[in-house]
Structure 1
Amino acid sequence: MSTTKRQFFAGTAALFIGLLLTAPAPARADDDPSAVLKQIQSSGELRAPVMIGEEPGYIKDPKTGEWSGFYVDFLKEIADDLGVKLQPVETTWGNLAADFQSNKIDVAIGVNPNPKRGLVVDYLWEPLFTDAWAVATPPGKPVKTWAELNDPSKRIVVQKGSTMQVVAEQLLPKAKITTVEDRNLALLELRSNRADAVILAVFDALQVSKQGIGELSVPEPMLRNPATLAVARKPGNEGFINFLTNWILQERSLGIAQGRLARSFEAHGFDLSILPPNFSF
């Protein structure tokens, strides 16, 4: 074989090997950005956490076990848009990260960005609505500022593993902070005169105030907190995140979310006029 032919075949072989090396690898299931979305639709259900003692967002009928509330209404709308049924999963705020990691839930609603949960959970950047942090205090003992509670003599109760715990630890390091599993236990501490304040989202504090358990205060500086959605951080959830983001944008831009919240609060007899004039959701 001539030198020219040998050089031709060697060059061709090298080119062929190069093409093999640079060719894209076969697509894996994990590479499908809609893998999670397809899995939810194929299962026929959307699994979402629901919480005892978190009215009016989550309300459980003690006779039937059925769930309602404005958060549940939002979740049912998402499930309908996906063509599946909502499957409530009873849990607590402190267990959300573990529930995502163990694949018990697909999406959580009304959550606040939490740095520890953020290690394993993806929060949507657009909030469904804006809340604020408030405190329930014993009747006749309102507070004007957070600084009033940052004292060793003050007993602050929060739900374990919640964003409320983060707020307390950052703003009230001098106070005695007690963690409990859920809101009902926190309010029991307040009723039993074992708490000077319970940190709550402002709409939850409205519920507590309506029940006559404590007095609502929105301390200054006002801490606004976004109520958003969260999904597990795992391959293939880009399409699900995109769907949820577009759903939130529609809810907010058309006033659907704000209208639903206002109707729910009015239906439960909440007096929104007691909220600070510079607060809006």
Structure 2
Amino acid sequence: MVRRARRQVCGALLAALVLLAGPLAERADAQQGTLDKILKEKTFNIGYIPSPPGIIKDPRTGELSGFYIDAIRFVCEQMGVKPVFHEARWATFVAGLQSGQFDLSVAATFATIPRALAVDFSKPIHYLGYSAIVRKGDSRFKSLRDIDKPGIRVAVVQGAAGHEWAKQNLKNAQLVVLATADLTAPFVEVSAGRADVGIEDAWATRRYAAKHPEVVDLFAESPFNVLPIAWAVRKGDTQMLNFVNTVIDYLLINGKLREFAQKYGPSGRFQLKLVYEPVVAD
């Protein structure tokens, strides 16, 4: 009787330990953190969206280049891990982070308030404004107010910051929303006569207008909606965010990012100027 009772008690305790083991293991995994997991597995899953010259994808080979790609490869080399790149779109990069497909997005993402509700942004890397493409000779447009009128077709990339701006500020114009990652797509719509105005970042508009004489860059001298460009991590991933901010400080302060950018030529981006002063004056 006593032995049987002891066996029953031991069995019950063993069953309880087995039940507790699952939650404890899950808690240990949660406490491990994204950065710990990357270092343990020696693999860094990185999301990107082609957007020259920061991120360039060769259409024939799929090979990636650009100063953001060079920068994150340098970081991975310093970490001793292998970068694994995952292509996303402006409308899907948030889902890629949230689902765990990748742990960092190095896309040149405008840090906006709506986006900051879904992801955590790093410190600003660069700053860039917006402009618009219209057909040459179209005298209807001289200001942003001229764009927001009934019957005006405005092309934007779905999920891009230009799309957010247009939804918030253009109440009368008709939006032509394009499901693509190609930032020149709104301009192609204008060239083809399917839209009256194409909105995207000021550098993309400048490059397109230089190659297409049938259009003009409407706000070439005074870009609007200037925003910080940042990288992004999963919402609430404080460990990863702190690491990425340290990386950005390193790349900017010692001029490493500028060094990577030089071989790709002008980018239309700006960064804050750092001025150093002695801790103790002479």
Name the TM-score, length of structure 2 as normaliser.
0.74
- Against the structure 1 CA distance between its residues 27 and 48, is the aligned structure 2 distance closer, same or farther, given a 3 Å change threshold? closer
* Partners of 2:211 and 2:72 in 1: CA distance: 26
- 1:99 counterpart (78, 83, 96): 96
- Against the structure 1 CA distance between its residues 44 and 29, is the aligned structure 2 distance closer, same or farther, given a 3 Å change threshold? same
Aligned 1:15-30 pairs, distance under 5 A: 28-29=27-28
Name the TM-score, length of structure 1 as normaliser.
0.75
Q: Hey, what does 1:86 align to over in structure 2?
A: 83
Aligned 1:168-207 pairs, distance under 5 A: 168-182=166-180, 183=182, 184-207=184-207
- The question of 1:246 aligning with 2:261 is answered no
- The question of 1:233 aligning with 2:235 is answered yes
SS of the aligned residue for 2:91 comes to helix
Aligned 1:132-143 pairs, distance under 5 A: 132-141=129-138
- Against the structure 1 CA distance between its residues 81 and 146, is the aligned structure 2 distance closer, same or farther, given a 3 Å change threshold? farther
- Structure 1 residue 138 displacement after superposition: 2.0
Unaligned runs of 5+ in 2: 1-23, 272-282
* Partners of 1:42 and 1:26 in 2: CA distance: 17
Is this contact kept in 1: 2:66–2:261, CA < 8 A? no
Q: Hey, what does 1:162 align to over in structure 2?
A: 160
State, as a whole percentage, how many aligned pairs show the same letter.
23
RMSD: 2.9
Is this contact kept in 1: 2:202–2:223, CA < 8 A? no
* Partners of 1:148 and 1:258 in 2: CA distance: 38
Is this contact kept in 2: 1:127–1:228, CA < 8 A? yes
- Against the structure 1 CA distance between its residues 238 and 163, is the aligned structure 2 distance closer, same or farther, given a 3 Å change threshold? same
* Partners of 1:207 and 1:250 in 2: CA distance: 30
* Partners of 2:33 and 2:42 in 1: CA distance: 14
Q: Hey, what does 2:257 align to over in structure 1?
A: 257
- Against the structure 1 CA distance between its residues 64 and 160, is the aligned structure 2 distance closer, same or farther, given a 3 Å change threshold? same
Unaligned runs of 5+ in 1: 1-24, 273-278
SS of the aligned residue for 2:62 comes to coil
- The question of 1:218 aligning with 2:216 is answered no
- The question of 1:66 aligning with 2:68 is answered no
- The question of 1:75 aligning with 2:72 is answered yes
- Structure 1 residue 86 displacement after superposition: 2.0
- Against the structure 1 CA distance between its residues 36 and 156, is the aligned structure 2 distance closer, same or farther, given a 3 Å change threshold? same
* Partners of 1:205 and 1:261 in 2: CA distance: 20
Is this contact kept in 2: 1:128–1:251, CA < 8 A? no
**Paired residues, number:** 242
* Partners of 1:218 and 1:258 in 2: CA distance: 26
Is this contact kept in 2: 1:158–1:180, CA < 8 A? yes
Which deviates the most, 252-261 or 154-163? Answer: 252-261
- Structure 1 residue 139 displacement after superposition: 3.1
SS of the aligned residue for 2:200 comes to strand
Q: Hey, what does 2:279 align to over in structure 1?
A: none
* Partners of 1:56 and 1:221 in 2: CA distance: 19
- Give the counterpart letter for 1:225 in structure 2: L
Which deviates the most, 149-158 or 200-209? Answer: 200-209
CA deviation vs aligned residue, 1:208-244 (integer Å, no higher than 9, x gap): 223327422337573211000110125xx32221111
- Give the counterpart letter for 1:180 in structure 2: L
- Structure 1 residue 204 displacement after superposition: 2.0
